[in-house]
Amino acid sequence: MVYYWEHECGWVNYLDPYYFWNFEGKVKCAGCDRVARFKFVNGMLLEGPTEVDEEADVLPLYADNPNRGYEAIKVGTEGKTRPFYGLMRDPSTYTGKARIRTENFRGKFIRATPNQPKKAGVIESRRFAWIDRTKSKDVWENDDYPGKPVYGKFRKEE
Amino acid sequence: MSDEKYEEKYVELEINDVKDTLLPRPWPVTEPRKREELYAPWVKDPRDPDGSYGEFVEENIHYKKAVGKPWALDGIIVLDCTVMGMAGAIAASYLGELGATVIKVEPIEGDPQRYWYPFGREEYAFEDIYTGEKVSPTFIHEHRNEYSITLNLETEKGREIFKRLAVHADIILENYPPGTFDEWGIGYRQLSRINPRLIYAWFGQLGQWGSMKDRTSKYGQWMLDPVGLSASEYVHSTGFPADLLPREFGGNPTRSGEWVGDIVAGVWGTVGILAALYYRENVSGRGQFIEATSAESYMEILDFNISWYAYDGSIKARIGGWDPNLNQYAWNPCKDGYMMIGGQSDRLWYRILQVIAQEDPEGARLIAEDPFLKEMAARNALEGLIKTYTVTAHWLVNNTRAEAEAKMNAREVAAAPVLMIDEIAEYEHFVYRGHVIEVMDEHYGRVLVSNSPLAHQHRTPARIKWVGRPLGLDNGEIFARYLGIGPEEMKKLAREGVTTWYHE
Amino acid sequence: MEKKVWDPSPPGSWSFDPPRDKDPVTGEDMEKIPFEEYCRRMFDPDKLWEKPEALKGWRHISSTMYILSPHVGATLGEFGAEVIKVEMPKLGDPMRHTSPFNEAYLWPETDHRPQVGTGMGFLHANDNKYFITLDYHAPEAKELYYDLIRISDSMAECYRPGTFYRWGIGYPQLKEVNPRLIYIYLGGFGNYGPRRYGGSYDILGQAVGGLAAITGWHEDFGGHPTKQTNWLIDWYSGLTGLIGVLAAAHYRRKTGLGTFIDLSQISCSTRATGYAFPLYGRFGVVRQRWGNWDTLLSVHGIIMTGRTDDPEHPNPQISVESRYVMVSAFQDDDFRELCYIIGRPDLWEKYSSARERVKPEAQIEIYRALEEWASDKSRSEVVEILNNAGLIAVPVFSAKDVYECEHFWERGTLRWIDDPIFGDVLVHGATVKMSETPPRVKWVWRPIGADNIRIYHELLGYPLPKLKELWEKGVI
Ligand SMILES: [Zn+2]
């Protein structure tokens, strides 16, 4: 079974389980561009991987290299991995990281950007009239925050 | 039931006709373990060390202890006028299972659902033991605890009788095309004058008002589920993306196998009805007009989808058996079917990895070492899903569902197989809890049905008393009880085509 | 939002003056106006904030996580109950860490982790709630919790069975504290039975409960079971539980006694399988998946058209996917018309009986012919042709189509709210339309522990120094 196909070049190609569950064809290694033939039937690898000197039918979606600190070839890298069209937007704008915004789709304020400083108060309590809806990111980013929380403090005291 | 006997029956089967393949199975084939075994002293249970909680639950909550307990909605009278759509049936059956008196008002020829057989196969019909009258399993299953009367609302006389019935009703359910009842003079604005306490609920796909309201075809065909599902982006965001399953194999937007838009509309409607009932009883003394649609009910279930679009223009895409919000949280193919594994928090996520590492250390290493997968939220990125599920499926290929389930459960990971219908009926836990039960019906004999989810309660559990009824079975009782119409007049009405005269 | 002047008896107030005879503003005879106009006035979304709430005075404690159990409280909150959500101090609900593809977050989650936001996944199952923190493990927690329960009508929890009992706050203990309490447990496997200690999720309910077995394309076509999008079994089971809670409240009016509801979401999934179990029990036939078609009616399914509506759009969900149409013509006349439109009168002759055309072979042939006919048309063309012919066809909407659909705005289903903390958020409001007591969304959620003072100090009356002490101990 070679769902993560560790090629001799050191790159690991991830052959996602649904697409390759019943599959016969040639796959190109995202790391070194060499092509191998696979045959999967109901998940079982019946033939391959056999290296062939032909054009590939399909590219993997994702590959990484454990020997280089898991350097990754992301989805949709041209000529290396196939793109994923089932995304929610133009695939080129997809990052997989939090999108920081102060404006929503229709241009109004939305608080989708890291925290403002803690206001006064014994308990982390927030009233409904809280802080100004300032949009200046500099203000938000320069503030100090209390250190890491001390979990289970009361148990230690017991 | 021993194995040989079952096998023997199977071998002897001679198939000359579709009917020969219709063999009732014994149910359940395997009895669940007994209570004494489950709560035996050697069953270690850290949450309930002395067994007192287990005992309390078994004595008070077990569905078999429900017999004789009171009914939550005792005395509430519901007129269910819905036909064809499932939403009204769901609402009516929930109300009926909780003890309301639900009267299904059907046209003379009956609710068309009665004759919708799966794949048009009449062999799948259930027959009335007394009359041989046929009815579809859908109708049987969805119209539990409902009385059936026939009343032709298209006649003046029928509507007059309906008005007299509505005087007694607390709740009316209806799903005719918008304005039909109003045109007939039995809509909310007319009935609320003769019965101000009336709660009147309309069910539909898109609504009875607004620019895209429900409509009929030029031949009068109604809109039915999945119209609402299609219009609510449910269909758009369900199914496999073409990247994981080519379109010709089904990598398309996919509707639900069951009419879930109607089911959630029915449930939402019931919630609205009961909130209105609470308000009527405690505050106003007056009923109200309620409207529940499949599209809008399902939209609420779609959760953040529309908010996400308003956030940055993102459109929720379909992603098959996975989920873009949590990792791990998916089903993937395994040796004998599909296996669902879930565990998002670090604690559970690494437990899953430990199980995989037992048999596939290289795969587990690829995940455990990767710095990108160390943070919980970051794992939800598409790359995280692809990598995690590829490695998991690689492990699953060598494991059957039962093996994978046992290995994951040993570490308290929420994991479960994708079960087929027959397997659900046999799954020990569900048999023990009566998720699926056999109802002994007066007219249809033993019928296997899914139980009400509200059957497990301390004081007012829901129960199934009977399944769907023969058409017009209760005409005699209901007409006599609420309208003072006896057999002689009923026969006369039947001749006029207002109702039917049911006799066994 | 424009400000409204407070008027004790506004002319449009229907709370104690339903417009049975004449419209309070225009004086029109409500009996005479067209039905659609009547509905528009009865359900007018602009009148939302002038109408009373159904569950005024109800208090609910939500000791919950994820979607299933919080949803009970959120819906009670939409109907006007005061709902208090209890989270673990500093950690909060794990659902806060769920966001589609890790992209959409709102801030803040809590003051302790300024760089961590709350994901979109948390958005709607917790609206209108007050958020407090309490560590149930702490010895002080039990009394605090009892104080909350004493003044509450209902509570929901989702911890593994017996956990609350071990902490001294299980149903057997709480019913002594408050006999009126309606206690609902929501989980996967329930409180009794051989697998009672299994954890559960929405997807688990779909998998083992039966929905997965019947949703998706048939394996003969190469399909796999498909997950119903976004947590159907969490949301719908939560509502089912709420039916139990509200019905129990009706019973409680007579007796003054609450109840315990043990709700299994798997059971809700099993309940939603239609004829599957009667069919299996009587005939031994195991219901399978049937893709985008219908097992009871034909034609009544979803087809793919050849072209999309906007091939140039940058979003593949529009440029590639806006090409599906739901076509419904199952009655004889409709089906005949459809066959003539697609130029296949032979299909009508072959399958003129409704029973015949639901047969699997017939469906394969009919839908194939439909898709062939649509292969050179776009989604809107197909919808237009069929609608103009008087048949029923609906495009498969994406979020963009829903957003741009006037219908849902008119009806108040889509609604921008001005959330006190998070700003301009679009929500699904008023899911069920009610003429007198419509449900409403006030805010989407609040940070962890945001209402500790509001609840512990202002509601229960604990002095602030005492709270500071509990805070420092990590109890709240
Ligand atoms: Zn290579």
In this predicted structure, what is the pLDDT of residue B19? 72
Pairing of strands A109-112, B77-80: unpaired
- Token pair recorded at residue C246: 């509200």
* Structural domain count, chain B: 3
| C353 occurs within a structural domain | yes
Residue B492 lies in a domain: yes
- What is the rounded (10 degree) CA torsion for B5, B9, B11, B15? -170
Average pLDDT score over chain C: 90
Q: Is residue B120 situated within a structural domain?
A: yes
Orientation of helix B87-97 relative to helix B260-279, angle to 10°? 50
Same domain, B173 and B267: yes
Q: Are residues C316 and C257 in the same domain?
A: no
Name the residue among B207, B263, B288 with its Cβ closest to that of C272.
B263
pLDDT at res. C229:
86
| Nearest residue of chain B to residue A73 (CA atoms) | B383
How much is the ipTM here?
Answer: 0.94
Pairing of strands B329-334, A23-28: unpaired
DSSP 8-state symbol, B43: S
In a domain, C167, yes or no: yes
Residues of chain C with C-beta less than 8 angstroms from the C-beta of B428: 194-195
Please indicate, yes or no, whether residues B486 and B396 belong to a single structural domain of this protein. Answer: no
Q: Residue B14 domain-assigned?
A: no
Element (H, E) at A60: none
Question: Phi and psi at residue B193, in whole multiples of 5°?
Answer: -75, -40
Confidence of residue C164 (pLDDT cuts 50, 70, 90): very high
* Among candidate residues C404, C427, C460, the one where a domain is terminated: C404
Please report, for the domain that includes residue C329, its CATH number.
Answer: 3.30.1540.10
Q: B124 with B186, same domain?
A: yes
**A12–B320 C-beta distance less than 8 A:** no
Flag whether C93 is in a domain.
yes
H helix intervals, B86-239? 87-97, 137-142, 156-166, 180-183, 188-194, 227-231
B18: enclosing H helix or E strand: none
Single out the residue in C377, C404, C431 at which a domain terminates: C404
Q: How many domains does chain C have?
A: 2
- A104 vs C contacts (CB less than 8 Å): 423-426
Side-by-side strand order, sheet with C324-328: C300-304, C324-328, C392-395
B123 shares its domain with B200: yes
Give the three-state DSSP class for B213: coil
Q: State the distance from the centre of ligand 1 to the C-alpha of A90, rounded, in angstroms.
A: 29
Examine the domain organization and report whether B56 and B154 are in the same domain: no
Using CB atoms within 10 Å of the CB of residue B438, give its burial: 0 to 12 exposed, 13 to 18 middle, 19+ buried.
middle
User: Closest chain A residue to C118 measured between Cα atoms?
Assistant: A112
CA–CA separation, B160 vs B174, rounded Å?
17
pLDDT reported for residue A109: 85
Chain B residues in contact with C357 by the CB 8 A cut-off are: 120
What lies within 8 Å, CB to CB, of C116 at 6+ separation is: B377, C97, C109, C110
B235 & B276 share domain = yes
* Same domain as C247, residue C314: no
Any domain includes B190: yes
Q: What is the pLDDT of residues C233-291, one digit of tens each?
A: 999 999 999 999 999 999 999 999 999 999 999 999 999 999 999 999 998 899 999 99
Q: Which of C107, C113, C130 to mutate to test the interface with A (most CBs of A within 10 A)?
A: C107
Question: Residue A43 C-alpha to ligand 1 middle, in angstroms?
Answer: 22
Residues 6 or more apart whose CB falls under 8 angstroms from that of C3 comprise: none
Domain limits, chain A? 1-87
Q: Please indicate, yes or no, whether residues C368 and C451 belong to a single structural domain of this protein.
A: no
| Domain identity same for B400 and B489 | no
Q: Look at residues C239, C292, C324 and name the one whose alpha carbon lies nearest to residue B274.
A: C239
Distance CA B393, CA B406 (A): 16
Q: How far apart are CA C67 and CA C74, in angstroms?
A: 10
C108 CB within 8 Å of a chain B CB: no
For residues B290 and B216, membership in a common domain is answered with yes
- The rounded distance, in Å, linking the Cα atoms of B393 and B323 is 15
Q: Is residue B394 part of a domain?
A: yes
Quick one: B218 and B356 in the same domain? no
Residues in chain A within 8 Å Cβ distance of C425: 104, 110
A3: closest CA of chain B, how far (Å) = 6
pLDDT tier for residue C200 given thresholds of 50, 70 and 90: confident
Q: If DSSP states are collapsed to H, E and C, what string results for chain C?
A: CCCCCCCCCCCCCCCCCCCCCECCCCCCECCCCCHHHHHHHHCCHHHHHHCCCCCCCCEEEEECCCCHHHHHHHHHHHCCCEEEEEECCCCCCHHHHCCHHHCCEECCCCCCCCCCCEEHHHCCCCCCEEEEECCCCCCCHHHHHHHHHHCCCEEEECCCCCHHHHCCCCHHHHHHHCCCCEEEEEECCCCCCCCCCCCCCHHHHHHHHCHHHHCECCHHHCCCECCCCCCHHHHHHHHHHHHHHHHHHHHHHHHCCCEEEEEEHHHHHHHCCCCHHHHHHHHCCCCCCCCCCCCCCCCEEEEECCECCCCCCCCHHHHCCCCEEEEECCCHHHHHHHHHHCCCHHHHHHCCCHHHHHCHHHHHHHHHHHHHHHCCCEHHHHHHHHHHCCCEEEECCCHHHHHHCHHHHHCCCEEEEEECCCEEEEEECCCCEECCCCCCCCCCCCCCCCCHHHHHHCCCCCCHHHHHHHHHHCCC
In the reported structure, the alpha carbon of residue A29 is separated from the centroid of ligand 1 by a whole-number distance in angstroms of 5
Pairing of strands C105-106, B289-293: unpaired
Mean pLDDT (whole number) for C35-49: 92
Q: Does residue B436 form part of some domain?
A: no
Is residue B63 domain-shared with residue B90, that is, in the same domain?
Answer: no
Q: Which range marks the domain in which residue B46 is found? A: 28-67
What is the whole-number distance in angstroms between the Cα of residue A21 and the centre of ligand 1?
22
Let me know: does C64 contact C136? Beta carbons within 8 Å.
no
Q: pTM for this structure?
A: 0.93
Residues B353 and B409 in one domain: yes
Pairing state of beta strands C59-63 and C154-157? parallel
Is residue B171 in some structural domain? yes
Residue B308, in any domain of the structure: no
Average pLDDT over residues A13-20: 92
Q: Among all residues of chain C, which has the CA nearest to that of A18?
A: C224
Residues of B in contact with A107 (CB under 8 A): none
Helix or strand run (H / E) with residue B338:
strand B337-342
Chains that touch A (3 or more CB pairs under 8 A): B, C
Cβ-count burial of A33 within 10 angstroms (0-12 exposed, 13-18 middle, 19+ buried)? exposed
Interface of A with C in 69-108 (CB under 8 A): 85-91, 94-99, 104, 106, 108
pLDDT at position A129, please?
A: 58
Dist CA B113 CA B120 (whole Å): 12
Give the residue ranges of DSSP H helices in A15-144.
Answer: 137-142
How does B346-382 read in b/e, with b if 16+ C-beta sit within 10 Å? Answer: eebbbbbbebbbeebeebbebbeebebbeebbbbbbb
**Most C-contacting residue of A126, A130, A156 (CB-CB within 10 A), to test interface:** A126
- For the CA atoms of C458, C248, C203, B143, what is the dihedral angle to 10 degrees? -150
| pLDDT of res. B493 | 94
**pLDDT tens for each residue of C78-89:** 999 999 999 998
| Owning domain of residue C337 | 300-404
Q: Which two tokens stand for residue A90?
A: 């133009």
Distance CA B62, CA C448 (A): 36
Q: How far apart are CA C257 and CA C250, in angstroms?
A: 10
Q: Which of C333, C394, C434 sits opposite B230 (nearest CB)?
A: C394
> In a structure prediction context, what are the per-residue pLDDT tens digits for chain B, which is 504 residues long?
344 444 444 545 567 777 777 767 788 888 888 988 888 777 777 788 888 899 999 999 999 999 999 999 999 999 999 999 999 999 999 999 999 999 999 999 999 999 999 999 999 999 999 999 999 999 999 999 999 999 999 999 999 999 999 999 999 999 999 999 999 999 999 999 899 999 999 999 999 999 999 999 999 999 998 999 999 999 999 999 999 999 989 999 999 999 999 999 999 999 999 999 999 999 988 999 999 999 999 998 888 899 999 999 999 999 999 999 999 999 999 999 999 999 988 889 999 999 999 999 999 999 999 999 998 888 999 999 999 999 999 999 999 999 999 999 999 899 999 999 999 999 999 999 999 999 999 999 999 999 999 999 999 999 999 999 999 999 999 999 999 999 999 999 999 999 998 775
Q: Does C89 touch chain B (CB under 8 A)?
A: no
Q: Which C residues 381-400 touch B at CB under 8 Å?
A: 389-392, 394-400
Q: What is the distance in angstroms between the Cα of B402 and the nearest Cα belonging to chain A?
A: 17
Q: Given C371, C404, C437, which residue is the final one in a domain?
A: C404
Do residue B411 and residue B483 come from a single domain? Answer: no
Report CB contact under 8 Å: B221, C331: yes
Indicate if C128 and C203 belong to the same structural domain.
yes
| Residue A8 CA, ligand 1 centroid: distance in Å | 6
Q: Do C232 and B264 touch (CB under 8 A)?
A: yes
A28 Cα to the center of ligand 1, angstroms: 8
Task: Assess if residue C455 is contained within a domain.
Answer: yes
Amino acid at B89: A
Nearest of B297, B304, B301 to residue B271 by alpha carbon: B297
Cα distance between residue B404 and residue B248, in whole Å: 31
**DSSP state letters, B91-113:** HHHHHHHTT-EEEEEE-TT--GG
Contact call for A130 and C103, based on CB within 8 A:
no
Rounded to the nearest integer, the mean pLDDT of chain B is: 91
pLDDT, residue C420, reads: 84
